[in-house]
Amino acid sequence: MKLGTTSTRTAKWKEPLRKRKYTSLLKNSPVSYLYHTYYVLETLRLRRRPPGWSWTNGWIDASRVDTALGPCDQVFCGSVKFVKRDKWLESESTGLLTDLYQITMAAAYFEHGMNEPATFSLFMRNLPQNRSFFLAAGLEEALDYLENLRFGPEAIDYLRATGNFKEPFLEHLADFRFDGEVVAVREGTVLFPNEPLLEVTAPILHAQLAETYLINALQLGTLIASKAARIGIASHDRSVVDFASRRAHGRDAALKVARSSYIGGCHATSNVLAGMKYGIPIEGTVAHSFVQSFERELDAYRAFAHVFPSNTVLLIDTYDTLEGARHAVTVGREMAKRGAQLRGVRLDSGDMIRLAKEVRRILDEGGLTETKIFASGALNEYRIEEALAAGAPIDGFGVGSHLGVSYDAPVLDIVYKLVEYADRPVLKLSQDKQTLAGRKQFFRRYSDSGEMLEDIIALRDEEFEEAEPSFSLS
């Protein structure tokens, strides 16, 4: 098929596909992905795509279209277009990564000469269902954003083209650099509702522009760290590895999840880039595809053990878990003769409690008493707690989907509210959304054994005996 044309199989669909037609055409159709495209976006046309460009809305994967229709370099669907990957995040236009009303409010502040210091407090209003605490994370990214907040020439040109902003304000944005004070709890701090995680004091235009990104960064970090902490508590200090990269909501999220889960108590991550970028230990085993690529499961195990004699963890459930465990014993004994040791085996399906007990028996009877059992596969804190309470002899867990998106509580009621302007404490009285006025922090009291007893939310400069302030102000 030539670029810039549609195939005869799709040309007849000049009208949007109805759901019934879409469903019937999807089966066994080499261009079924295009029918899906028609159904979702209604129109399709093909043009040449510069290398390294990708979809902005995530509805269509260009590689899938290439497979269906043969080589094509670019696909346009309706008004959706390609943009250079991370172009804006890697440029001096980071100021545009915000909600429009932040910039319109900034313009109004500028127009009226409002430049007095303002303090905004960031906190969580309520706990998600079945949760009892938060664990703070995401601060590094938030501070990095403030240090690099810019409105570059392309950003200014875009704002000018909207026709919404006057030239003096745009000139002000062109020279914008964040100038303010940020106080925050340390990452890894336990928090409860209404306790400030962070407060920003800056000229009100500066502090206002920071809102959207700060909420974005600190919500994801805190959300994942809190989930990781729950999983760590359920695991009773057994090893927990972040397996979430493939299910995280985008590549950027995969890195942030790895970092936040490490803060929350995970011992390692499977994400290699996160390991390099953040210094997190990296761990991994082997996939079913590796085992399937050999004619015999035992051959696959031997091949992997040959390449990684000091770090072999075998996936034993590709065909029959117990038979896989017996093959692992064979390989483990062969490794022992060479002076090596089978580090572990991994369970990824089935009745985890029963299989772990049976596999432990097989390993022990085979003389592999030091070989660990590692479990993965749709795990969360509840399944881990249940397995360990039932006596499953599992030494470590790989947790992916439920950790990477905080499956049971995927969003926090996190807000960023003005609490002081021009030395005047301010509050809001909206129903169910009232705020506390003034610059604040919380003070935490501990028992003699180190257990938390109580928190007191108070003004920043108050003092309480035998209570530690949440912000480090020295």
CA distance 373 to 378: 17
Please compute, for residue 310, the number of CA atoms within 13 A of its CA located in the half-sphere on the CB side.
0
Tokens encoding 449: 């054994």
Least confident of 80-89, 174-183, 258-267, 277-286: 80-89
Beta strand 198-203 with 134-135: parallel, antiparallel or unpaired?
unpaired
CA distance 415 to 430: 14
pLDDT above 50 (res 23): no
CA distance 371 to 35: 51
**CATH number at 237-404:** 3.20.20.70
Nearest to 196 by CA among 5, 447, 420, 15: 420
CA distance 173 to 167: 10
pLDDT at residue 92, as a whole number: 77
Percent of the chain at pLDDT above 70? 80
Least confident of 18-27, 86-95, 228-237, 374-383: 18-27
Least confident of 69-78, 422-431, 433-442: 69-78
**Whether 65 contacts 75, CB under 8 Å:** yes
Q: What global pTM score does this model have? A: 0.81
Rounded mean pLDDT, 169-181: 97
Amino acid (one-letter) located at 117: P
**Whether 213 contacts 98, CB under 8 Å:** yes
Rounded mean pLDDT, 142-151: 95
Query: What tens digit of pLDDT does each residue of 244-257 get?
Result: 999 999 999 999 99
| DSSP string for residues in 242-280 | E--GGGSSSHHHHHHHHHHHHHHT-SEES-HHHHHHH--
pLDDT above 90 (res 41): no
pLDDT at residue 354, as a whole number: 98
Nearest to 178 by CA among 247, 106, 89, 82: 106
CB atoms within 10 A of CB 456: 13
pLDDT above 60 (res 279): yes
Non-local CB neighbours of 132 within 8 Å, separated by 6+ positions: none
Tokens encoding 246: 């493939």
pLDDT above 90 (res 89): no
Q: What are phi and psi of 36, to 5 degrees?
A: -60, -40
Query: What tens digit of pLDDT does each residue of 258-269 get?
Result: 999 999 999 999
Query: What angle (nearest 5°) sits at the alpha carbon of residue 469, between those of residues 463 and 474?
Result: 95
pLDDT at residue 67, as a whole number: 34
Handedness of CA 139, 140, 141, 145 (dihedral sign): positive
Percent of the chain at pLDDT above 90? 79
Domain assignments of the chain as residue spans, ordered by start: 8-84, 94-223+417-438, 237-404
Q: Is 335 helix (H, G, I), strand (E, B) or coil?
A: helix
Q: What is the mean pLDDT of the chain?
A: 85
Query: What tens digit of pLDDT does each residue of 400-421 get?
Result: 999 999 999 999 999 999 999 9
Dihedral angle over CA of 77, 160, 212, 140, nearest 10: 100
Domain 94-223+417-438 has CATH 3.20.140.10: yes
pLDDT at residue 91, as a whole number: 63
Rounded mean pLDDT, 382-394: 98
Rounded mean pLDDT, 212-226: 98
Q: What are phi and psi of 47, to 5 degrees?
A: -145, 170
Non-local CB neighbours of 440 within 8 Å, separated by 6+ positions: 121, 196, 199, 419, 457, 458, 459, 460
> Who wins on pLDDT, 20 or 98?
98
> Who wins on pLDDT, 279 or 83?
279
> Who wins on pLDDT, 317 or 36?
317
Non-local CB neighbours of 315 within 8 Å, separated by 6+ positions: 285, 286, 287, 288, 290, 291, 324, 345, 346, 348
pLDDT above 70 (res 31): no
The pLDDT confidence band at residue 25, using thresholds 50, 70 and 90, is: very low
CA distance 329 to 301: 10
